[in-house]
Homo-oligomer: A and B are copies of this chain.
Amino acid sequence: MEHLSDLERATLGILHASGPLTAYSVRREFETSRSSHWSGSSGAIYPLLKRLEKRAYLVSAPVSKGERRGRLYRLTGVGKSALLEWLRSPVEEDEARLTYDRIRTRVNFLEALSPTERDRMLDGAEQRLVEVLLEAQRDFDGSDQGPLEQLGTLGGVRILEARLAWVREIRRRLADMHVEQEQRR
């Protein structure tokens, strides 16, 4: 059964949810999904699909839309089993722990900046988060997703809300710290 990467598993999931797709359509799913950190670059997807087909998770059939060559990829029984096995497997600690947040990465080194610069950075972060949150909320509200597929999108919204609240919280904390320092003088 071997090991599958998250990108590979997500690809199996997309193929399961959205039926047979061409490589290009798979790419677009990743490209347009706002809550994916994968770019869906062709250099990633095309080799990945070939890989998965060689391992029998997928089969492809040539498709002729007009003159265009192309292959439609479809999940095999093996592929579906692998997807289900993953989804049914116990959630590991790493899955709960591991997150990646580039704003948090910056915040970790806030110390290197002056108080003014810190606030400027956090202000910028706050603005971006607001922008992105609005987008995500629009995606969620005016979505053609079913109630189940929406749940992932909802997670994206909730996490953005939390990140925004957090940035605001630390701006307040820093402002308070600054006031305290002033008073101590």
Residue positions of A touching B, CB distance < 8 A: 6, 9-10, 13, 16-17, 34-35, 37, 80, 83-84, 86-88, 90-113, 117, 120-121, 124-125, 127-129, 131-132, 146-149, 151-152, 154-156, 158-163, 165-166, 169-170, 173, 177
Question: How near does chain B come to A118, taking the closest CB pair, in angstroms?
Answer: 8
Query: Are A87 and B99 neighbours in the complex by a CB distance under 8 Å?
Result: no
Cα A131 to Cα B95 in complex, Å, equals 12
Contacts of A10 in B (CB 8 A): 105, 108-109
User: Is B84 in contact with A128, judged by CB distance below 8 angstroms?
Assistant: no
CB neighbours (8 Å) of A158 from chain B are: 162-163, 165-166, 169
- Show 19 A/B contacts (Cβ-Cβ < 8 Å), sorted by A: A6-B102, A6-B105, A13-B108, A13-B109, A37-B98, A37-B100, A86-B106, A88-B120, A88-B121, A95-B106, A95-B128, A96-B163, A100-B100, A104-B155, A107-B155, A110-B151, A111-B146, A154-B166, A158-B166
Cα-based distance from A6 to B88 in the complex (angstroms): 33
Complex Cα distance, B159 from A152, in Å, reads 15
For A149, the closest partner residue in chain B by CB is B111
A70 to B120, CA, bound (A): 39
Residues on B with C-beta less than 8 A from A117 are 87-88
Q: Is the CB of A107 within 8 A of B152?
A: yes
Contact status of A148 and B110, CB under 8 A, knowing A87-B121, A91-B128: yes
Cα A102 to Cα B124 in complex, Å, equals 27
The reply to whether B112 and A17 form a contact with Cβ atoms under 8 Å apart is: yes
A95: chain B residues within 8 A (beta carbon): 102-103, 106, 125, 128
- Tell me whether B125 and A96 are in contact (CB under 8 A): yes
